[in-house]
Amino acid sequence: MANRLSAVPGVRVAVVEAGPPDKDKFVHIPAAFSKLFRGPLDWNYLTEPQKELDGRQIYWPRGKVFGGSSSMNAMMWVRGFAADYDEWAQHAGPEWSWAKLVGYYDRIERGPLHVSDQRSPRSATAAWLAAAGECGFTVDSTDDETPDGFRQTRVTQRRGARWSAADAYLKPAMRNPNLKVFAESVVTRVLFDGRRAVGVEFDSGGKREVVEARREVVLCGGAVNTPQLLMLSGIGDRDRLAEFGIDTVAHSPGVGQNLLDHLVVPVGFEVERDSLQTAEKPLELIAYLLRRRGMLTSNVGEAYGFVRSEPGLDLPDLELIFAPAPFFDEGIGEPHQSHAIVMGPILVKPKSTGTVTLASADPLIKPLVDPGYLTDPDGADRRALMAGLRMTAQIAEAPSMRGLLGAILRPSGATDLSDETLERALNTCSHTLYHPVGTCRMGTDADSVVDPQLRVRGVDGLRIADASVMPTIIRGHTHAPSVLIGEKASDLIKSAST
């Protein structure tokens, strides 16, 4: 947004960013992203206890830094299926169909955002892909309209280093004299003159600041921060707002509803060698610093494949993912002391939905995040993940993996891949794949939070351009469609100004 809008003559753009510039070395070293978790560049959310996951609170990292979550994600560039975008069009009109949007991907991928093949994938990744082929799955699929099958992950990297949205868009735009960036400045509310957004208030080092907007205010906080900010600003369910003493500017009960996310269930195995467990050894550091090669260029999730939980499904509802690393407990805590790998299913079309709601009228207090994992009434989400876990076990037992894998390390204490073990993995090991969307969904209906031009209903001069506007979740990873939404929103704003 900053890049595209500041390129327009006569326009002045202010970016208010909660985090600092992306100077931390772990932002740029691909395999090091989990070292950012629960640190100063992380919003560090915890969900409400999830009753279907043994009452666990699930950790949700979110980027609080230039580039947002694109500066701390696993860099996986997975567009999804054409049908996912056509599903958006059913909610928000034909301009959001695949046919109308695919051109944005062509613009993004040949332009500012570098999307590349991995430089130094592990041998275990090739073995996993071979095992998938031995189990009858298609291998070497492409990013076309229906990317069924398995492949190595394409990544947002440039010469072996992370290439975030800040690298691609923000930093080049910061040379523009008409762009001003306020770093380490947390927006606390949108300011209104009547029903028109006229600026934002933000906290900068404990001091209240205001930046005014002559044309529009655009929120890009993501599926957690954006609905929180709307509610703090008086846009939401009037009864809930009144509970916190917030005056209603626009009654919009859909704000914070329709929360969707991808749940992954990792199953871990011991291996003898060649996992990312040794990525921090001196030789690997030298390989990275001198040649941008080796283990530190890995995005961890080096391969994936789309599959169906039931044969009769038109499109996949699961993704299987492979990480040649001991990515246990999301890489937080003490490093695992031996070589290991992780594989497991991701539920990419969940039926369960959740909410983001206020915990306080204080903007510096985190909202309540309840994704409602596996709470769909007929249990379809749990059945689908169990089917994916059985496929995971099938691949683990295929010839190409049989000589590679040792003891089962996750779930702890397991000795076989029985349904009991897989059910325990689901309940005790599952976590987010970091793809929350949908909490300010777009649509043509009056109950949607934003209209097809991404304008917030009930007010003027306010738009949203982030993953919260997605009416449904894609079969893929949300980095790609989030960048697409930024490009599309920029065009919508520019066309409205001419």
SS3 497: helix
Active site residue 477: yes
Q: Take residue 391 and report the two structure tokens written for it.
A: 């496929």
Determine whether the annotation assigns residue 187 to a binding site.
yes
The residue assigned the tokens 């892909």 is 129
Among residues 183, 204, 190, the alpha carbon closest in space to that of 255 is found at 190
Catalytic position from the list 262, 336, 431, 435: 435
Give yes or no for a contact between 188 and 201, defined as CB atoms under 8 angstroms apart: yes
Given the residues 114, 336, 431, 477, the one annotated as active site: 477
User: CA 228, CA 212: separation in Å to the nearest integer?
Assistant: 20
CB neighbours of residue 312 within 10 Å: 5
As given in the structure block, the two tokens for residue 305 are 């494949």
Look at residues 15, 59, 39 and name the one whose alpha carbon lies nearest to residue 433: 59
Cβ pair 121, 178 in contact under 8 A: no
Quote the CA–CA distance of 298 and 74 in Å, as a whole number.
9
Find residue 268's DSSP bridge partners: 342, 410
411 prior amide bond cis, ω within 30: yes
Beta-bridge partner residues of 202: 187, 209
Q: How far is residue 417 from each of residues 155, 239, 264, 380, measured CA to CA in Å?
A: 31, 49, 17, 22
Amino acid of residue 399: P
To which residue do tokens 């409400």 refer?
48
User: CA distances (Å), 82 to each of 119, 324, 463, 481, 492, in order?
Assistant: 28, 30, 25, 12, 22
What are φ and ψ of residue 226, in 5° steps?
-65, -50
DSSP letter, residue 197: E
Q: Is 200 annotated as a binding residue?
A: no
Asked if 306 and 475 count as a contact pair (C-beta separation under 8 A), the reply is yes
- C-alpha 237/C-alpha 248 separation (Å) is 8
Active-site annotation holds for 479: no
Spatial distance between the Cα atoms of 472 and 447, rounded to a whole number of angstroms: 15
* Dmax (CA) of the chain: 69
Q: Which amino acid is at 180?
A: K
What residues are annotated to the active site? 435, 477
Binding site, annotated residues for FAD: 65, 187
